[in-house]
Amino acid sequence: MKFQFSNDQKGLIIGGSSEIAQAVGHGLNQLFPELELHSVSRNKDKNVKFKAKKYYFDYFSEIEWDNYSSLIGNSKFDFVLSFVGALNTEGQSPEKNLRSLEFENLVKTLEINLKPMFLGMKSLERKLNRQELTLVSAISAKVGSITDNQLGGWYSYRISKAALNMFLKTLSSEFKFKNPKCIINAIHPGTTKTVFTRDYLKTIKHTVHEPEETAKNLIEVWQSLEVENSGEFRNWDGTILPW
Ligand SMILES: NC(=O)c1ccc[n+]([C@@H]2O[C@H](COP(=O)([O-])OP(=O)(O)OC[C@H]3O[C@@H](n4cnc5c(N)ncnc54)[C@H](OP(=O)(O)O)[C@@H]3O)[C@@H](O)[C@H]2O)c1
């Protein structure tokens, strides 16, 4: 049986202000107008425009996650999708070589790309619906694939997404026993025209998608997943990526 979004579900979007998250939120609003969405985001300044119950807190803090978890009561989530990510710390470009790699930036970038998903899952583990098929997915990046790393560079981002991937893979092993109806997935969204890629668009030679196309692709892949696919890393077109 494949995972399907539906009107009677409740889902959480972490990093609701991400441009890809906004497109996915809109897409889900349009396809399933009754679906209950929660969006968590760091600050109100960046508008979250899709229809959702909007929560603003520091999702890098475990206490804040626990506050959110108590605030929302006991109703269960059918899916959790995280869009949080950054190429590097503010003001820093992705590293071209070892010389430009600063360990402090690496740690900070790792924190941005991994911590919200890790804390969110730790806090909400018991709030996943165990009666039905559920989905937990984080937007990773192909450059986080260790096997696929042909070009090098972008140390902090690659290391951070590889760590996120390992977290998801490890969680999928734990959930095989604990929560066997939950599909854990890492997904590469495909290069997408957002603030994230703004500085690199001119140099990109492959296809660049609009956020709406990416949302459509992601929703399609998520809805093709079965429980046997838990612990996989997928590309935007549905193909499997090597870890
Ligand atoms: N665009 C692409 O081509 C592409 C390709 C591969 C992978 N990805 C991944 O896709 C995800 C979404 O990216 P996007 O293109 O939608 O980019 P975006 O608009 O820049 O979204 C970035 C998200 O990360 C959150 N965030 C938390 N801490 C941050 C920090 N210190 N700096 C920047 N952002 C921070 C933002 O959160 P708030 O909601 O709290 O503001 C926002 O939700 C990311 O995980 C990215 O790694 C994107």
Tell me if 106 is assigned to some domain: yes
Tell me if 1 is assigned to some domain: no
pTM beyond 0.85: the answer is: yes
**From atom 45 of ligand 1, which residue's Cα is the shortest distance away?**
85
| Ligand 1 center to 15 CA (angstroms) | 7
- The closest-lying atom of ligand 1 relative to the alpha carbon of residue 85 is 45
**Domain holding 138: CATH number?**
3.40.50.720
| Ligand 1 center to 131 CA (angstroms) | 31
**From atom 7 of ligand 1, which residue's Cα is the shortest distance away?**
141
Tell me if 56 is assigned to some domain: yes
Q: Is the CB of 139 under 6 A from ligand 1?
A: yes
What was the pLDDT predicted at 79?
98
Tell me if 16 is assigned to some domain: yes
Answer yes or no: are the C-beta atoms of 151 and 103 closer than 8 Å. no
| Ligand 1 center to 177 CA (angstroms) | 32
What was the pLDDT predicted at 196?
83
Distances (CA, A) of 62 to 2, 43, 69, 185, 242: 32, 17, 10, 23, 31
Tell me if 24 is assigned to some domain: yes
Tell me if 4 is assigned to some domain: no
Q: Is the CB of 164 under 6 A from ligand 1?
A: no
Q: Is the CB of 141 under 6 A from ligand 1?
A: yes
**From atom 33 of ligand 1, which residue's Cα is the shortest distance away?**
86
What was the pLDDT predicted at 192?
96
Q: In the chain, which stretches have pLDDT less than 70?
A: none
Overall domain count for the chain: 1
Answer yes or no: are the C-beta atoms of 171 and 121 closer than 8 Å. yes
Give the rounded distance of the alpha carbon of 107 from its chain centre.
19
* Selection from 42, 163, 153, 188 nearest residue 110 by Cα: 163
- Main-chain phi, psi angles of 49, to 5 degrees: -95, -15
What was the pLDDT predicted at 90?
87
Q: Is the CB of 114 under 6 A from ligand 1?
A: no
Tell me if 3 is assigned to some domain: no
As a dihedral over the C-alpha atoms of residue 31, residue 35, residue 38, residue 41, rounded to 10 degrees, the angle is: 10
What was the pLDDT predicted at 148?
95
Give the three-state DSSP class for 64: helix
Helix or strand (DSSP H, E) at 239: none
Beta strands in 174-229 (DSSP E): 182-187
Q: Is the CB of 56 under 6 A from ligand 1?
A: no
What was the pLDDT predicted at 215?
98
What was the pLDDT predicted at 77?
98
Q: Is the CB of 208 under 6 A from ligand 1?
A: no
| Ligand 1 center to 130 CA (angstroms) | 29
Annotate 104-131 with b (16+ C-beta within 10 A) or e (fewer). ebbebbbebbbbbbbbbbebbbebbbee
| Ligand 1 center to 5 CA (angstroms) | 23
Tell me if 189 is assigned to some domain: yes
Q: What does the alpha-carbon distance between residue 89 and residue 211 come to, in Å, rounded to a whole number?
A: 23
* Burial of residue 17, with CB atoms counted within 10 A of its CB: 0-12 exposed, 13-18 middle, 19 or more buried: buried
| 205 token code pair | 């030679």
Domain of 82 in residue numbering reads as 10-241
Answer yes or no: are the C-beta atoms of 204 and 197 closer than 8 Å. yes
- What ranges in 35-190 are assigned the alpha helix state H? 62-71, 103-124, 155-178
